[in-house]
Each structure stands twice: as structure tokens, then as C-alpha cells.
Amino acid sequence: MARGDAVPRPKGTRDFQPSEMERRRAVEEGFRGLAERFGYREVMTPTFEHLELFTAKSGEGVKKQLYEFRDKAGRALTLRPELTAPVLRFYVNELSTQPKPLKLFYLGNCFRYEEPQSGRYREFWQFGTELIGPETPESAAESIALAWQCLTGTGLQGLELRVGHIGVLKNLIAALPITEAQKAELHRKVDKREPTESWLHGHGVPAAQASSFAHVAGLQGGPEVLDEALTVFQEPATRQSLEQLRQTHTFLEALGVKGAQLDLGVVRGLD
């Protein structure tokens, strides 16, 4: 027993007691069962990967958050900071000939070198799904319904579901007469729910265009917000995005997910 004496647990990590493990395993089993009911199948990848898998995706700057190291043969490796890139590596290397849509899920530990704070640890767990194949309103609704059922199944209270379509703002932003740097700034403003109309106008966007952009970015509610947006926009790609969002909402209701809020100001993932 002396061998365990006095050596502390590494900073930012956790030991899980039996009572905590029972809750964890119950949540995991819930996630796994739901994913399987939606036709997803589990995959698992190694705990460490070649460093370049993540630097190729996120740039060298990501290294300051990584637990990177060299193995005894000098290979640059890192503990994985997330699971999407490893699962896509697995797909590219070995699963690309599988019939589509390929529906995969994963549940594994990830590592980030960050200052520990409340609820933030250096080793943490990620559950996720990848649907590889044509993206349709039906498949989008299925992914959202699965995520929603996972969260509500944990017993968390006060959850709110907001669904957007990045195509809507993407098309509008593309049409604005501003620079790329200004577009990036605009993303940030929309994401933070800051007002945009006078900022756009101040950067040379015609008043009518600035006004309709700001109006749509602020649209939230039931399917009626889509009707409202459709009266404003005649551009085919934008109208198609709005129609896809309407179908996604319809499929969600069919899957038993009621009361999702449509939110045209959702830009997460747009860049």
C-alpha cells in the first residue's frame, strides 16, 4: 500500500468514487442506448494521435492547449483534444467504402492543457455523433433530436432548444459590400447578439440592406418567423435554406421534439 503514499493526483484531473461512477455509467448507457435507437453505431480511436492531425486542422496555435509529447522513436504525438478529427481520420483510412449514410457515435476522454476552473478539467469526456453522407432536413432533424433526447434524458432542467440554419446568414453575409475582416467581426457581433444595423450602415452598407440583415439576424420563434423571412428575401439560395429549416422543424415535431425555437441568428460554425 506504501507505493501509493503521498503521490498526489495530477492537477486538473479527477478520481471517480463508486457513487460517481454509477451516475456516469447510467448517463453513458443512456447516451449509448439512444444513439443505437437512432441507428448510430459506436467506434473507438486511440487515446493519442499524431500531433499533425490537430495542427493541420487548427494551426500550430492549438499546441499550447495540447498534451503533446514524443515517443521513444521521436514521433510527435498528442493526447487527443477532441474526437471529431480522429473519427474522420478513421473514416478516411478504413471506413470510406461503407454504405452511406454512415452513422457513427463515440464516447471518449479528451485532454486539454487549460487552467482548471469550476467544471473544467484537463481530462474530460466527449460524446458525439457523425453522420457521413448527404445532409438533408431529415438527417439534420434526427441529429438534433438525438442530442436533445440525450440532454433531457440526464434530468437536466431549464434546457432550451434553438435551431438555426447557417445557410441563411451565410448567403446574406456573402452579399454584403464589406471586407473579409469586417465579415469576421460581423460573425462575432451576431454570435454575441450585439446590434448590427448601425454598424453595417456605418461601414457603407445601404440602409435597407443593413436593416433587413439586422431584422433576420434577430428573428426567433416558431415556424411563423420563416414566413416572415420569406416575405423579405427573394434570393433562391436563401429561400432554399429557409425551406430546409422549415422541413427540419417539421421532422423534429414528428420525432417528438416539440417547441424548438427557430433562431436565424445562429452563426456558430459559420467560419
Nearest distance, CB of residue 119 and a copy of itself, angstroms? 17
| Backbone φ and ψ of 259, nearest 5° | 80, 15
Nearest distance, CB of residue 168 and a copy of itself, angstroms? 24
* 164 CB-side CA count, 13 A: 20
Nearest distance, CB of residue 73 and a copy of itself, angstroms? 8
| Backbone φ and ψ of 202, nearest 5° | -65, -20
Q: Which is nearer to a copy of itself, 53 or 161 (CB)?
A: 53
Contacts of 237 (CB under 8 A, 6+ apart): 167, 171
Q: Which is nearer to a copy of itself, 39 or 222 (CB)?
A: 39
Q: Which is nearer to a copy of itself, 21 or 175 (CB)?
A: 21
List C-alpha distances in Å: 214 to 129, 176, 194.
33, 12, 10
Enumerate binding residues for a copy of itself (CB under 8 A).
Answer: 1, 3-11, 13-18, 21-22, 24-25, 32, 41-50, 52-53, 56-57, 64, 67-73, 75, 77, 79, 85, 88-95, 104, 109, 111, 113, 123
Nearest distance, CB of residue 144 and a copy of itself, angstroms? 22
Nearest distance, CB of residue 170 and a copy of itself, angstroms? 19
Cβ-contact 264, 219 below 8 angstroms: yes
Strands of 41-42's sheet, edge to edge?
Answer: 41-42, 102-111, 123-132
Q: Which is nearer to a copy of itself, 40 or 148 (CB)?
A: 40
